[in-house]
Amino acid sequence: MTDGHRPGDGAELEDVESPPLSVEGVTVRYGSTVAVVDADLEAYAGEFIAITGHSGAGKSSLLWAIGGAVACEGTVRIGDEEVRDRAQAARLGIEVIPQGSALAVLLSAEENVTLPLLARGVRAEQAQRRAKAALESVGLHESGSHLAEELSGGQQQRVAVARGLALRGRVLLADEPTSELDHDNRERVLALLRAEARRGAIVIMATHDPEAAEEADGEIRLDDGQLETIRTPAG
């Protein structure tokens, strides 16, 4: 990253001022199927935005296009930098909490959180501290040594949230982060996402849950790939 958090700098709680995120004319196709159509979106540091819509509306496709993980037409920029692929997106501080957790099931919860930090150059001792703190923040401080495959679906989802939080990106893309959670843990995770925005990150959450969407500052609805602004963060 060119500003904000530098991996391995030893900071425990560091604010970040994300550059603006700009999505211009993004279209995502899978063969003859068009999942997202000519989407435009702007988001700024400190904003928590929900993308809503029915299953299959294109929410995940838009998130993954922003995160550089799926090919798209149009452009995605953070500041002056164009996002071209997932590796570059990660270097620019765009992190993803995937739907369904996507954990390495034969690694422990703590290892699932620690290894991405090590891959970003965070020192081992610091990575372990951050992983433990992130797991504690999602209520899994006693489950760090458990293999991911031993955890329930809701616990796995919270590990994925902890992994995304521990990376401390400038942009955090959360794909249905509360779908597997009970009420208390849903509220816990939403509070953590709000806290990420307060520290200066841009947080974009795809969700089919209208109550979760209400917790965000703004809401954009996808309907058959088309974006419609429902309320703006300033509204």
Q: Are residues 128 and 191 in the same domain?
A: no
- 233 confidence band (pLDDT: 50, 70, 90): confident
Task: Name the domain count of the chain.
Answer: 2
Q: Are residues 83 and 133 in the same domain?
A: no
> Residue 89's domain is classified under what CATH number?
3.40.50.300
CB environment 45-68: b (16+ within 10 A), e (fewer): bbbbbbbbbeeebbbbbbbbbbbb
Each residue of 193-222: pLDDT tens digit?
Answer: 999 999 999 999 999 999 999 999 999 999
Q: Are residues 79 and 104 in the same domain?
A: no
In a domain, 123, yes or no: yes
In the chain, DSSP assigns E strands to 21-30, 33-43, 48-52, 73-78, 81-82, 94-97, 171-175, 202-206, 218-223, 226-231
Backbone angles phi, psi at 191, to 5 degrees: -65, -40
Q: Domain boundary residue among 168, 195, 212?
A: 168
Region 102-114: mean pLDDT is: 95
Quote the pLDDT of residue 89: 95
Domain residues for the domain of 218 are 18-93+172-234
- Checking if the pLDDT of 113 tops 50, the result is yes
Quote the pLDDT of residue 13: 52
Q: Are residues 88 and 176 in the same domain?
A: yes
Each residue of 170-184: pLDDT tens digit?
Answer: 999 999 999 989 999
Each residue of 1-28: pLDDT tens digit?
Answer: 333 333 333 445 578 889 999 999 999 9
Report the DSSP pairing between strands 48-52 and 218-223.
parallel
